[in-house]
Chains A and B, each alone.
Chain A
């Protein structure tokens, strides 16, 4: 299951990443394995995702979301 499968309002824990380039970028942004994230909303025109982490908010593309394995909590 990846972030892409989440519905707005759902919370999840990060398990792992499936792409190394995306992984290094996510790590720099403070999204680590075991981080908890909330999918808050989706952008107009069905584009990017608005996610809330413990200390900050970020926007990611669907293609980036697909590289993050998660479990819903």
Chain B
């Protein structure tokens, strides 16, 4: 196997502070592949040694043992057991929390016994000394047979030493495994190795690896069908009981670990977590718990509107000035039209919403980092189960408020397939940050900007209402999926509730940077191209029809004594109607008319199927071309829009509400469909997702417009 990079993998239990250590080691030199369509969890990075040599690190998802439940954990096994895996690590840096030594050493001993060169890193050593815990590192190292180092990712203590250590060859004193296979299992493992690849028997610890394959061959990739069949019949004959052996292996390991931990970890006084327990007494209280949860969510979304509008105005002004400057420099013409009305209008329409998205990612990131989200999992498990979901779905549902893509990926921690699939299917109904621009533009047509209702801003309340509606629709859809889907698989909760800790700001910021950049870049790319195409489609059309529009306008203007300004407005409006985009919009107009939408909105609906945030850019492009007035925001332009037939405003409250509902429900994000395809391994589910959400959108809008219109 040619392998260009030699990977050093960070492995550890969830909540061991592994990601903090990864951040401390690599700083900003990390990447997560390309956002949509590529794994977020395969987080890689590097640091440079003293002589400038590059050390590549990979941060693997946390897991508790080599007997995985969820997809996340299975991925780690895949990477460790398959010698041809491109990310199989050359070395392992294993991270433990000194307060949880016993539990965290279970996986450590399993990895030692797979033969990987490994160092044990005791992280959060600062917290250990705060808690008066002393650890006999020398002895621990001697007993495990590997090097041990104590560091603190929080304070940076010993990080440099760890870097130096990682660059050297890891010393290993142990030639034999910590827990040896008994004779019977050794024989089974040898036969498994023979069936898989006899080479395994020649490499150190190959037999131990083969034994793990015996546990996991049913789902491990890279084993062909014939081998799976022969393994199956052999193991059946040998009466190999995977669960029995797992229990046996784990218990043997604890009988090594428990006395070891007792002898190396010295606690001067007992009990930690008094603070966490007090906080949980309130935060997960039967009454206050849910109240606090919804309070926090309401605050998060109020904050978006209270704090983000000032920087948003700056960005708006910046784009306005830039457009003016370009127009001044280039004069009128197709190039300045393309730059200002096409690209700049499109990009600016979305750039304005960066402050909102920044805040949303920041606040959700902090909640995750302090440990609040696992409390939410605990509180809502029972309720969510009734809707066919898992407590863990709350993480996906809440982060779906930022973006459905990372949210769908977070479902990998749900081990039950039906619950996981249901979560994936309904998460895109939660209003994501890409809908925020659409909502902001439209909500002004439903309620005036500065109207108050007591303490609350009325627009803020409408927003909150939209989010509540999106949550309700997600739950109801989940309930329907629960009734339709069948499974006999066992469902699990079992979750660790980590101690509350101060957020490490470096972690929050690195996470934030990563997500924000992905959003801006990915959304920006799509919007950039769609804006150019759209500008072309809206500026040009079939020659005769464009000509005819000009002639007719001229005659109409002459007979009605129009001022030059009025003439120009009419001309622009007639031209866009005659353009290619106009034809597209008109083509679908009969279908969307019952929802209260005209052909201009139709154009926006078509372009929005790539990505919903394109709506604002599309509106900006259409109305920039369609108006002689280059001042004013998109919303002002839309507000002036008059229906040619009735002479009334196009954006009545009913139309705006109907549009809001459409964008709330509709599946308008190609990236999400791509990720659903990848996570479910078939086109069936993304297609179902697209169809049911679009149907919901159409019917919802129809209802709203027919009732309020």
**B378 interface residue per 8 A CB criterion:** yes
User: Which listed segment binds A: B98-106, B397-405, B505-513, B701-709?
Assistant: B98-106
List residues of A (29-55) whose CB comes within 8 Å of B's CBs: 29-30, 32, 40-48, 50, 52, 55
Contact of B490 among A21, A46, A50, A57 (CB under 8 A): A21
Q: Are A43 and B378 in contact (CB under 8 A)?
A: yes
Cα distance, A63 to B490, chains bound together (Å): 10
Q: Provide the B101-128 mask, 1 if CB < 8 A to any CB of A, else 0.
A: 1110010000000000000000000000
Q: Which B residues, 261 to 299, have Cβ-Cβ distances below 8 Å to chain A?
A: 273, 276-277, 280-281, 284-287, 289-290
User: How many of A's residues come within 8 Å of B, CB to CB?
Assistant: 30
**Partner among A48, A52, A64 whose Cβ is within 8 Å of the Cβ of B382:** A48
B243 close to A24 (CB less than 8 A): yes
Partner of A58, one of B243, B284, B383, B497: B497
State whether A24 and B103 are in contact (beta carbons under 8 Å apart), knowing that A43-B379, A44-B286, A52-B277 are contacts in the complex. Answer: no
Q: Residue A57 contacts which of B382, B494, B497 (CB distance < 8 angstroms)?
A: B497
In chain B, positions 367-412 with a C-beta closer than 8 Å to chain A are 374, 377-383, 385, 391
CB distance from B255 to the nearest CB of A (A): 10
Size range of the chain B interface in the assembly: 35 or more
Identify which of B246-254, B341-349, B692-700 touches chain A: B246-254
Contacting residues, chain A, for B281 (C-beta < 8 A): 41
Q: What is the CA–CA distance of A50 and B378 in the complex, to the nearest angstrom?
A: 8
Q: How far is B498's CA from A52's CA once the two chains are assembled, in angstroms?
A: 11
In the assembled complex, which residues on chain B have CB atoms less than 8 Å from the CB atom of A30?
100, 102-103, 106
Residues of B within 8 A of A23 (CB): 243, 247
Query: Whole-angstrom distance from the CB of A52 to the nearest CB of chain B?
Result: 7
List the B side residues contacting A61 at CB < 8 Å.
Answer: 381, 492-494
Interchain CB contact under 8 A, A45 and B383: yes
Complex formed: what's the CA distance from A30 to B280 in Å? 21
B284 adjacent to A55 (CB under 8 Å) = no
Chain A 14-27, CB-CB to B under 8 Å as 1, else 0, gives: 00000011011111
Write out the residue numbers on chain B whose beta carbons fall within 8 Å of the beta carbon of A56: 99-100, 103, 496-498
B492 contacts A64, C-beta separation under 8 Å: yes
Residue of B nearest to A25 (CB): B494
Q: Decide if B495 is an interface residue (CB 8 Å cutoff).
A: yes
A64-B64 contact in complex given A28-B250, A44-B285, A44-B287, C-beta closer than 8 Å: no
Nearest chain A CB to B487's CB is how many angstroms away? 15
Are A48's CB and B290's CB within 8 A?
A: no
A7: interface (CB < 8 Å): no
Identify the closest chain A residue to B415 (Cβ).
A25
B224 at the interface (CB under 8 A from A): no
Q: Given A32-B254, A55-B99, A44 and B289 touching (CB < 8 A)?
A: yes
How far is the CB of A13 from the nearest CB of chain B, in Å?
A: 15
B464 at the interface (CB under 8 A from A): no
User: Who on chain A is nearest to B106 by CB?
Assistant: A28
Choose one: B64, B243, B498; the contact of A28 (CB below 8 Å): B64
Determine if B633 is an interface residue (Cβ-Cβ < 8 Å). Answer: no
**Chain A residues within an 8 Å CB radius of B251:** 27, 32
Asked if A47 and B383 make an inter-chain contact with CB atoms under 8 angstroms apart, the answer reads: yes
Bound form: Cα–Cα A40–B497 in Å = 13
Report chain A residues within 8 Å CB of B287: 44
> With an 8 A cutoff between CB atoms, is B244 at the interface?
yes
Return the chain A residue nearest B254 by Cβ. A32
| Contact A46/B102 with A20-B243, A27-B247, A57-B276 known, Cβ cut-off 8 Å | no
Contacts of A64 in B (CB 8 A): 492-494
Partner of B495, one of A28, A41, A42, A58: A58
Select from chain B the residue with minimum beta-carbon distance to A60: B494
B65 interfacial contact with A, CB 8 Å: yes
Complexed CA–CA distance, A43 and B100 (Å): 24
Question: Which positions 494-540 of chain B face chain A at CB distance < 8 Å?
Answer: 494-499
Contacts of B276 in A (CB 8 A): 57
Contacts of A57 in B (CB 8 A): 273, 276-277, 280, 496-499
Closest approach, in angstroms, between the C-beta of A61 and any C-beta of chain B?
4
- Min Cβ gap A10→B in Å is 16
Contact A48 B247, CB 8 Å, known A43-B378, A55-B100, A55-B103? no
**Pairs A-B, 3 closest by C-beta atoms:** A47-B382, A30-B103, A59-B378
14 further interface pairs, Cβ-Cβ under 8 Å (given A28-B64, A57-B276): A20-B244, A24-B243, A25-B494, A29-B64, A41-B281, A42-B286, A43-B286, A47-B382, A56-B498, A57-B280, A59-B381, A59-B497, A61-B381, A64-B493
| A–B Cβ pairs within 8 angstroms, 30 of them | A20-B243, A20-B244, A27-B250, A28-B106, A29-B64, A41-B280, A41-B284, A43-B381, A44-B286, A44-B289, A45-B382, A45-B383, A46-B382, A47-B380, A50-B284, A52-B277, A56-B100, A56-B103, A56-B497, A56-B498, A58-B495, A58-B497, A59-B378, A59-B381, A59-B493, A59-B494, A61-B493, A61-B494, A64-B493, A64-B494
- Give me the interface of A with B, judged by CB distance under 8 Å: 20-21, 23-30, 32, 40-48, 50, 52, 55-61, 64
